[in-house]
Structure 1
Amino acid sequence: MSDFTMINCCLILSACLLSSQAVWSQRVRVEPEVTAYPNGSVNLRCQFIDSGTTKLTQVSWMFERVEGDRHNIAVYHPMYGASFPNKDFEGRVSFTQGSLENPSIKISKLKMADAGKYICEYATYPSGNEQGTTSLIMLARPKNSATAVPVQAGSSEVVVARCEAAQGKPEATISWSTGVAGRYNDTAVPESDGTVTVKSEYRMIPTPAENGKEITCVVNQRTQNEPNSFPLKLVVQYPPTVTIEGYDSNWYMGRTDVVLTCQADANPAPTEVTWRAASGQLPPSVQVDQNRLLVRKVDETVNTTFVCEVKNSLGSGKKELVVMVIESTEDPSSAGMVAGAILGSFLALVLVSALVAFLVMRSRRHQHGYSGDGEQGAYGNKTRLFGGKKASKNGAGSNNNGPIYTYRESEPGALTEKCNEFPRMTGSTPTAHDILLSGELNEAERRKFDALNDSLDDEEEDERYDRFSGLSPSYQIHRHKDECTLYLDDDMESQRDGSIISRTAIYV
């Protein structure tokens, strides 16, 4: 037989032996992997399946922390009972049923060092030893934490936040969520008990603008049902940056109660605020109230440069403000009142002017009257009734009553005889009252005439006429054939002073 043939035979025989051993090893049933937590307990199950004619002698549990380094921790013999030879598991391991067919054990008060391989091995006859292996994985929930690291603003990259997942198993993973530009790096440190501590640091170049910005650390680990998040706010420290508010460039002489406010952006918070004038001390009209500067009244002393200085633990900052005082005779705050007063005065003046104009026009109308044809003023015709010549002493004047004449004031001395001045009367002779109603007398003359007629009753008129001439009180007007000639009856009346006047003549 050649050497090649012998080698093939040996390989086939080895494969058969391995296959036979694999089949036999499947008769010991165990769980391939279990998990547990420190200070907890775990059950390691083992069972021999279908022993048949195979005789079970004893069963042993061995612990292998490092590959190839096995130690017996529990032995069960049907005649001699249970034995626990390993001191590390003394008092912490026990058989759950105490039989060869089901030699499961329970381990309590678990430690992280208990993680490893646990082999359940049967001693049988005639097949020899058969075994099954269970891997115990110890899990540890990490102790997670995160914190922001206070830093000073600068131009170099520094650590601004830290996040840690301590003593976890398996080791945790850490990530960062933020809108701030930067980078992070992780480090994993194994602990003596088999756990791992993972640390992560976030680095960036800090500026005052990043102070207070949000950054979140996110920890993921097998024992957590969901990621553990830690929101943080960056702490960037810087000296004060100062601004002055409240100046509106309208500080005029006499203005009162104006305020300047000193605002400071700083971290940590300002510890001191100081106001002063660039020329020295503050003007006497100025008062300081913490970060506020109050000017009770603006005068020439306020025309200066004010300086506000703010300090914190990192340094100080200041701001200057140049105030320009302008001249003004009135307070712009009362501009609305002044404007209202001016407008009211203007409206009152307009009303008074309108009233005066109305009164003047009415007075002129009363003085000049209106002409018969509607013309007013100096160009209108005025009517006069002229009686006869001078009356006789006995009161009976000659019947020289003449016609009614009109004249235009613009033509002095020119008299014109006007026909049809009185409306034609049908059925009766017109009276003096009808003459007044002809439209040629002004309003004042009509009122006088009406008052005169009202004041005289019939008896007084009878007495008066009986005393002098016995004439009737009525005024009779006779029209001649000439339509333009009207005559009045002789109605002259004697007065107490000896004079005689006509009753029908109208004197203006």
Structure 2
Amino acid sequence: MLQLILQALTKKTQQWVECVTEVKQIFSSKMVLRALVLCLAYSGLGKPIVVPQAGHKKVRMGDSVTLSCALTKPMEVLQVTWQKDSEESHDNIATYSETNGFKIQKPYEDRLNFTTLELNKTSITFWDTRMDDSGCYKCLFNIFPSGPLSGNTCLSVFGLNASVHHNISEDHLIVICNANGLPEPTITWNNLFNSTPTQKTVKHKNGIVSITSKLKIYNIQSISAQDLICRVSNTNETFELPVKIKGEEGSSLLWLVVIVVLLAVIIVLILIMLFWRKILCKRT
């Protein structure tokens, strides 16, 4: 296939050569074949196109990742804009122009920056990726006088977040375990105490799956500090979240006893002082 493309390139005008030269300078050897195909499709029309460095990138939550795009031929670009696709619109996250410099929008301003400040090619880097960074991004070149050209690249952040909390009422205990992850997580309990958990699963557009498992236990007295554990896992990670109940109750009870004893001692001391003061007054 590469040989056929090269044969076709030799039959075309100087635009083919310019396209291939520009592509080889920007991208690694693994990306050259893809870029050559794009040159073959578009350069004959005399129009530049936007080539993303990668169509889809994967990164572990908390790590850094760079997204890049470039034009196949130099153009008079007024501004470069990065947008994140949402369900209803394209939200600007970063812009760069020679006139106004660069601007990072909230909530990305503390963890994202331009790492290539040029108008014909652009790169942004996430320094601390989060689960909600997953999604597709558009690099948009505003060209004078022809108008905007854009390319798309997608990002998948894999990882696992989990939390557990509980609420004690008069006759039962409610424990809720939450997990957000990519790939899809699972939630299990080490002990159900004759109860049946209810589970809710939500699959988000960006690929992240949220799971909530709710456990309602009536035999509270049978649960000790380490008897109830929520286990959250996916193909990459596993968490164990203990539900500590007795320890919390014991700690609260201990503080209550200490406070009551201190108040009693203070009251006794005050009464003794008043008693001795009364005796001294009678003697004088």
TM bin (shorter chain): 0.3 to 0.5
Higher-Rg structure is 1
The structure with the largest helix share of the pair is: 2
TM-score with structure 1 length normalisation?
0.29
